[in-house]
Structure 1
Amino acid sequence: MATIHDVAKKANVSVTTVSRVLNNRGYISEATRTKVYKTMEELDYQPNEIARSLLRKQSNVIGLIIPSVSHPFFSELANHVENYAYELGFKMLLCNSQLDPLKEKEYIEMLKRNRVDGIIMGSHTLQVDEYKNLSSPIVTIDRQISDEIPYISSDNYAGGKLAAKLLVDNGCKKIAHICGNLELHLLANQRTEAFQAVMQERGIEHIIIQTDMNVFDQLQYEQIMHQLFQDHPDLDGIFATSDIIAAFAVKECAAAGRHVPGDVKIIGYDNVNAARWITPELTTIKQPIADIGKTAVDLILKQMNEEAFETANILPVTLIERATTS
């Protein structure tokens, strides 16, 4: 395996010059830079990234911890984080916590050992102190854990209000809201608060059903929907806290012989790509997933560079009307 000394010898430059090229430090002529890179390619030289990160005190790697990359919202979020970070010269380490506190803690320790420049937390099973004790820059998504740590969220209350009002305005008289487990204390709970407020204001009969603590376990969605229609055959509106849950609602309506949107109107949340793939296409509340990913990376960089940043970063949502409501 070639070493930095081999590169210097073959390129007829000093080891210091090769190091400067690798770390982009000091003045290096373009001719010398080209010669060094060409020699590295000829020798198949692989720089020691750990040593370089120690030298620069920067790894150019950002960690992202999410519950599950198989969930469309988080897979799209991870895609946007990786793309934007790469444009800025950073790589991304992706970790699936599966909402397991032990696994989440182990991943945090791994990211610390690898000297990542910052951690974006989309999974929140640990106690607040676990996050506060991190020395690396950190950004949380959909959870506020302190007044110092920046967080990002879509405007959940506005989203819940938009969904609830659309169902009521479209004539729904008995509406179910299927949400995540409210004991998790995520900012997404504001969708439920807004839904309840609209229902009470309009005097509409409504039902709220929570998932279990593993809110991303899709096996429970079908059971929830089947039981819902068994218990409430006169249901004519559903607001689901994710597009995936809403898709299961559409599926259950078909199985029960209920026409969508004629008999039951359905609204999801997120506007993941799959919302357009089902039939009928899903009405949903659009979260700006790309902007959430970009904002998360920007907040990591601002902390690294000791720049001022906003702790609360609430991004607007949009109602996307499709065939499940009209």
Structure 2
Amino acid sequence: MQPKLKDVAKLAGVSVATVSRVINDRGYLSSGTKEKVYQAMRQLNYSPNSAARALRGKTFKLIGLIFASVENPLIAEAVQKIENQLFEGGYKAIICNSLDNPAKEQQYLKMLMANQVDGIITGSHNESLKEYKMSGLPIVSYDRYFPSPIPTVSCDNAAGGKLAANTLMDKGSEKLMLISGSLEKIPRNADRVAGFNQAVEAVGQKSTTVRLRFNDTPGIKRAMIRQQLSAYQPDGVFCTDDQTALLCLQEAKSLGMKVPDDLQVIGFDGSQYVQQYHPELSTIVQPIDDIVDLLVRILFNRLEQNDDQLLDRYVLPVSLLQRGSLRN
């Protein structure tokens, strides 16, 4: 039998009105009261969404997509492909752009729950783990790690970092530089950095690391990259994303460095936009078509409650696209 609001209230030892306020985040309530309600909901497997769906006996066939930044060419490409596949499967998408802002992400999640979406595909999570789990919805994550029972689909970020390092060294680079975004806010960067450093250290070489912040403007990033290129004079650079790699190419050329003779550069992601409009950039390519196919297939399995055989993580292989920023 579907648990009801009064069942949650009874188990938590609070009023029905208090449970409603916790669910809708209205008014002041102590953290202790909220936790009692959350614990009762977990124990009873109660979800506001599942209760509402049971009452109306149907779904709206809506899927929420929460991603960090649809300005990123690869994310924009992934979202478009996901939306197309969902539409072909009879679902409509609500697209949310969190900009890696925890408060914004939580508000979007509450909005999706209020609109009673049937499931969520997320490529962005910060402090909202409890809210995701409490939603009671089928959820699949792209490249952001959740604990079980939320499956994660990603490329092999660590292998991509190793491939970049080995390629630069095999092609003669000795003075290596790694330019990375935030490791804390973007976990995939940490894997790419770890893979790169492991490959460099395995042959006794060293590299210098430049760390950029997620919210830095392109102008700030460009100035920092220019300063580090000028000071360190590397002959091989790996950037943990293609947008940063393109900035690196621009600043290297403005400093009079010849690419690839003086400096070799490898990015990461390999979106169709980069492949078509920046043919000079060599990059580690994510298999985005395979990733999207798997994300949507897993979500549909979860919607149909066929998730007994699902894994916690699915990791797909990457490949190198060699072009003008690498020596032959």
Q: Given the two structures, how large is their TM-score scaled by the length of structure 2?
A: 0.79
Who is 1:221 aligned against?
221
String of CA shifts for 1:169-188, please: whole Å, max 9, x gaps: 00001111111211236134
Is 2:65 the partner of 1:58? no
1:221 shift after superposition: 2.5
Who is 2:18 aligned against?
none
Single out whichever of 122-131 and 304-313 deviates more from structure 2. 122-131
Who is 1:146 aligned against?
147
Q: Residues 71 and 187 from structure 1, CA distance in 2 versus in 1: closer, same or farther, beyond 3 angstroms?
A: closer
After the TM superposition, which residues 170-185 of structure 1 pair with which residues of structure 2 at under 5 Å, given as runs?
170-184=171-185
* Residue aligned with 2:230, SS: helix
Q: Distance in 2 between matches of 1:313 and 1:62?
A: 21
Is 2:247 the partner of 1:248? yes
Who is 1:264 aligned against?
263
Q: Residues 294 and 280 from structure 1, CA distance in 2 versus in 1: closer, same or farther, beyond 3 angstroms?
A: closer
Who is 2:123 aligned against?
122
Equivalent pair of 2:285/2:318 in contact (CA under 8 Å):
yes
Q: Distance in 1 between matches of 2:264 and 2:312?
A: 37
After the TM superposition, which residues 93-132 of structure 1 pair with which residues of structure 2 at under 5 Å, given as runs?
93-132=94-133
Equivalent pair of 1:260/1:280 in contact (CA under 8 Å):
no
* Residue aligned with 1:184, SS: coil
1:131 shift after superposition: 2.2
After the TM superposition, which residues 1-326 of structure 1 pair with which residues of structure 2 at under 5 Å, given as runs?
55-184=56-185, 186-214=187-215, 217-233=217-233, 235-277=234-276, 281-308=280-307, 309-326=310-327
Q: Distance in 2 between matches of 1:114 and 1:297?
A: 20
Counterpart AA for 2:169 = V
Q: What runs of 5+ residues in structure 2 fail to find an aligned partner?
A: 1-51
Provide the alpha-carbon RMSD of the alignment: 2.0
String of CA shifts for 1:192-236, please: whole Å, max 9, x gaps: 111111111122231112222437x53432122112113212x10
String of CA shifts for 1:5-41, please: whole Å, max 9, x gaps: xxxxxxxxxxxxxxxxxxxxxxxxxxxxxxxxxxxxx
Q: What runs of 5+ residues in structure 1 fail to find an aligned partner?
A: 1-50
Counterpart AA for 2:144 = R
Equivalent pair of 1:139/1:149 in contact (CA under 8 Å):
yes
Counterpart AA for 2:89 = L
Equivalent pair of 1:211/1:220 in contact (CA under 8 Å):
no
1:70 shift after superposition: 1.3
Q: Distance in 2 between matches of 1:237 and 1:148?
A: 41
1:277 shift after superposition: 4.5
1:295 shift after superposition: 1.6
Q: Residues 94 and 276 from structure 1, CA distance in 2 versus in 1: closer, same or farther, beyond 3 angstroms?
A: same
Which of the two has higher C-alpha Rg? 1
Q: Distance in 2 between matches of 1:72 and 1:301?
A: 26
Single out whichever of 54-63 and 254-263 deviates more from structure 2. 54-63
Counterpart AA for 2:62 = V
Equivalent pair of 2:109/2:132 in contact (CA under 8 Å):
no
Counterpart AA for 2:146 = I
Q: Residues 84 and 280 from structure 1, CA distance in 2 versus in 1: closer, same or farther, beyond 3 angstroms?
A: closer
Q: Distance in 1 between matches of 2:69 and 2:273?
A: 16
1:55 shift after superposition: 4.0
* Residue aligned with 2:188, SS: coil
Counterpart AA for 2:225 = M
Count residues with an aligned counterpart. 274
